[in-house]
A and B are shown apart, each in its own frame.
Chain A
Amino acid sequence: MNFEFSEEQQMVRDSIARFVQDDYDWDTRRAIVASDSGMSDKAWQTFAELGWLSIPFAEEDGGFGGNIVDTMVIMEELGKGLVVEPYLPTVVLFGGLITRAGNEAQRSSWIPSIIDGSTSGAFAYLERQSRFEITDCLTHAKADGDGWTLNGEKVVVFNGANCNQMIVLARTAGEQWDRDGLSLFVVAADAAGVNRVEYPMMDGQRAANITFTDVALNADALLGEAGAAMATVESMIQEATIALMAEAVGCMGTLNTKTLEYTKTREQFGVAIGSFQSLQHRMVDTMMAYEQAKSLLFKVVCEYKQDPASAELSIHALKVFIEKNAKLVYSEATQMHGGMGITDELDIGHYAKRLMMINTTFGDATYHRAHYIDKAYAA
């Protein structure tokens, strides 16, 4: 048993931390979020040059051959810096699906372009009615000669506004809610019949609702076997959930650090407010929330590394636990910063909004608790 990071992991961690410190301070991040695209091409190119976009991909696909621990390290650091560039949508979601379901031609056509930063990807799978249930899919693709015709609408597609390629979950057989009959298609964002309605999310991400009207797809757009996408999607979502939880832990850590610093310097009644026991005990609570969240993340990562199937229950547990503890951390951070905590100017509220989005992404605690119960206590 060890909870140490390898030398390479420490190097990646340090290099992202340095990037955040030198090139991604709060004013820079504000300017990026306020810009037209809401992301920085320059920052993304830096990610590519420093090799961060290559880390999870297999060596034979031109990647670094990293595992879940590497992804955790990266995402935690990105969380600390509240980095808004689409690492999760492009590398973890889009790249994760290509890795899992792509044939050799598809892998060699997409993975190098993710690694060099030229492909910006997204996964379009949510629909207006679907809430957290991925199988609740009405978007459909009909066989048409050698290819397919795609029709339907996807909503809240992360990186949907900026992506140049997306993977769309569509029904090729069966009825709404059927597990079988779902398929994945790679669709160019500028393909005829693709229409995007773009909007900013509260956490600074740029998302989109995307409609597909008689979009003509070639046979090679199909990723994996037709009708059998769910196993691939679930496997990828598991890994993406762990990545997202690592980002949450990063956000929580920064909120605690900033709040602690603030209470040591902010004076009221002639003393630093950090000298008040009522605040001290609450900062102990948030410190414990962070440490415990990190511990559970380590458990999940260790299990997943050993055998992804063995981590299923713990991933549900982690999602439940992080939601509860992230809420505590961001609520207390906002409260202890007083009036400043509710300004747009200060970063605290932005970390809170990111954590709120993280909590709902891939299912909230209510959803995951229900799945935990189903798996753990089935009569």
Chain B
Amino acid sequence: MDIAFSPEELTFRDEVGSFFDEQFDDELVARLRGENFKEAIVEWQQRLYKKGWIAANWPVEHGGTGWTPTQKYIYETERSERGIPGVIPFGIGMVGPMIYQFGTTEQKEKFLPGILNSETWWCQGYSEPGSGSDLASLKTKAELDGDHYVINGAKIWTSYAQYADWIFVLVRTSNEGKKQEGITFILVDMKTPGIKINPIISIDNEHSLNEVEFSDVRVPVENVVGEVNKGWTVAKALLAHERTGIADVAQSKRNIRLIKEAAAAEVNGGKRLMDDVNFQARVADLEIELMALEFTELRTLAAMAAGGFPGPESSLLKIKGTELQQATQELRMETAAYYQGVLPNNMDPDVLGHSWTHDAFRNYMYGRAATIYGGSNEVQKNIIAKYVLGLE
């Protein structure tokens, strides 16, 4: 039982800190907020790639860092303290691990380099208009025609489909047996004829979500990852990977820091908001929840380091992590008072005042999705009840 950093770990912390201070420069920060978000985030990820730090959770043989849980913790702490965005999850966090876990040698050689160097932008084709929490009921079908599958159907809530080069898709290849059987995990080039992207404007007034339609989209059979009709195994493994990162302790930490900064500047009747005892109590309770969550994540990381892949326990991190994200987003919105509702309408935020509040609005609004995506929190509770508590 020990969390003391070794001299090597302290050196590592300094190395991470100075790399971030040097490479995450103001010019990049400005571009990340601007129109060319994709270009800016890709450039940032490529700086991480050159440093060898793009894939914190991958094994070394596939280009990962091979970091210990402590190193990952140090890295995330240093990152969040500086408000540096995390790596876009669809390639590094999701499809990459599925390819090195379940893919063929050819698939690894073809896809992993583009994922690591961020030249390929991936998106996720899981949910469908008729299949949300009941993911296994999905109907997008793939029929074999020679050495191709022909895909027809639609996927929804696809983040950044408009930027994507490739999409990983769950398709139905058989209607035999249970609904979990007959699902296949397949990789599709977004340039293939028959793919149509319909933008969805979300509650934050932004465009990141999409519906992706497939009409007679022909995909070579060699793009199937894992066995045909056994895609549910891959889907579940991916969701478990997704859930561990989804806690996003770093984001909640940053939100609390921003709340405290803002509340120190906000004044009510001549008194700083941060000096209001009721407000202090709310911040304190969130900070305390966060301490517990952070150590729960560390315990999970340590267990993973000892035993391999995350199990159903990662559902706990998903539930508590997203609840806390939303709670911190909510308090940040309230800290903005009337300004929580001010839409900048392309005006310079400094002209309007309180330039930080629109970021709070966007985070809060888009943040409502967190308890829904990655398997809704109610589904996570079903998973824990069944697989951890043994309740049927």
- Does B272 contact A379, Cβ atoms closer than 8 Å? yes
Interface residue A275 (Cβ < 8 Å from any Cβ of B): yes
Chain B, residue nearest A280 (CB): B385
Q: Find out whether the CB atom of A298 lies under 8 angstroms from the CB atom of B295.
A: yes
List A residues 283-303 near B (Cβ within 8 Å). Answer: 283-285, 287-288, 291-293, 295-296, 298-299, 301-303
Check: B22 CB closer than 8 A to any chain A CB: no
Contacts of A302 in B (CB 8 A): 1-4
In the assembled complex, the CB of B335 is this many whole angstroms from the nearest CB of chain A, namely: 14
Nearest chain A CB to B45's CB is how many angstroms away? 27
Inter-chain CA distance A264–B391, complex, in Å, is: 7
Using Cβ atoms and an 8 Å threshold, which residues of chain B touch A199? Answer: none
Q: Are A288 and B275 in contact (CB under 8 A)?
A: no
Are the CB atoms of B299 and A373 closer together than 8 Å?
no
Chain A residues contacting B296 (CB-CB under 8 Å) are: 291-292, 295
Residue numbers in A under 8 Å from B320 (CB-CB): 288, 292
Complex Cα distance, B385 from A317, in Å, reads 28
Closest chain-A Cβ to B310's Cβ sits at a distance in Å of 14
Question: Which one of B281, B295, B299 has the greatest number of beta carbons of chain A within 10 Å?
Answer: B295
Given A284-B384, A379-B274, A295:B292 Cβ within 8 A: yes
Chain B positions within 8 Å of A277 at CB level: 382, 385
- Report whether A3 and B382 are in contact in the complex, using a CB–CB cutoff of 8 Å: no
CA distance A280 to B292 in the complex (A): 23
A260 at the B interface (CB under 8 A): yes
**Nearest CB of chain A from residue B243's CB, rounded to whole Å:** 14
Q: Is B111 part of the contact surface with A, judged by Cβ < 8 Å? A: no
B288 vs chain A, min Cβ distance (A) = 4
**Chain B at the A interface: SS class:** helix
Instruction: Contact check, A1 vs B302: say whether CB atoms are below 8 A apart.
Output: yes
A292 to B295, CA, bound (A): 8
Residues of A within 8 A of B3 (CB): 1, 299, 302-303, 306
Question: What is the size category of the interface that chain B forms with chain A?
Answer: 35 or more
A275 to B390, CA, bound (A): 10
Partner of B291, one of A1, A288, A299, A305: A299
- Please indicate the chain B residues that have their CB under 8 angstroms from the CB of A287 in the complex: 316, 384, 388-389
Out of B302, B385, B390, B392, name the residue touching A281 (CB < 8 Å): B385
Contact B378 A295 (CB under 8 A): no
With a cutoff of 8 Å between Cβ atoms, the chain A residues found around residue B299 in the complex are 3, 295, 298
B314 to chain A, nearest CB (A): 12
- CB-based nearest A residue for B280: A373
Chain A contact patch, size range:
35 or more
By the criterion CB–CB under 8 Å, are B283 and A377 in contact? yes
B73 within 8 A of A: yes
CB < 8 Å neighbour of A320 from B285, B381, B385: B285
CB contact between B382 and one of A275, A280, A298, A376 (< 8 Å): that residue: A280
Contacts of B351 in A (CB 8 A): none
CB-defined contacts of B388 to chain A, threshold 8 Å: 287
- Across the interface, which residues of A come within 8 angstroms of B73, CB to CB? 1
Cβ of A4 under 8 Å from chain B:
yes
With both beta carbons as reference points, the residue of chain A lying nearest to B290 in the complex is identified as A317
What are the residues of chain B within 8 A of A281 when measuring CB–CB? 378, 381, 385
With A1-B298, A284-B381 as known contacts, state yes or no: A293 contacts B292, CB within 8 Å.
Answer: yes
Asked if A274 is an interface residue, CB under 8 A from chain B, the answer is: yes
* A369 sits at the interface (CB 8 A): yes
Q: How far is the CA of A296 from the CA of B287 in the complex (A)?
A: 12
CB of B43 to closest CB in A, whole Å: 33
Tell me if B289 counts as interface (CB < 8 A to partner A). yes
Across the A-B interface, give the 7 residue pairs with the lowest CB-CB distance, nearest first: A295-B295, A280-B385, A302-B3, A295-B296, A1-B70, A296-B292, A292-B292
Chain A residues with a Cβ under 8 A of chain B: 1-5, 69, 260, 263-264, 274-275, 277, 280-281, 283-285, 287-288, 291-293, 295-296, 298-299, 301-303, 305-306, 314, 317, 320-321, 369, 372-373, 376-377, 379
Task: Report 29 cross-chain contacts, Cβ distance below 8 Å, ordered by A residue.
Answer: A1-B3, A1-B298, A1-B302, A2-B2, A2-B302, A4-B1, A263-B391, A280-B385, A284-B385, A287-B388, A288-B316, A288-B384, A291-B296, A292-B293, A292-B296, A293-B292, A299-B291, A302-B2, A302-B4, A303-B3, A305-B1, A306-B4, A314-B291, A321-B289, A377-B260, A377-B274, A377-B283, A377-B284, A379-B275
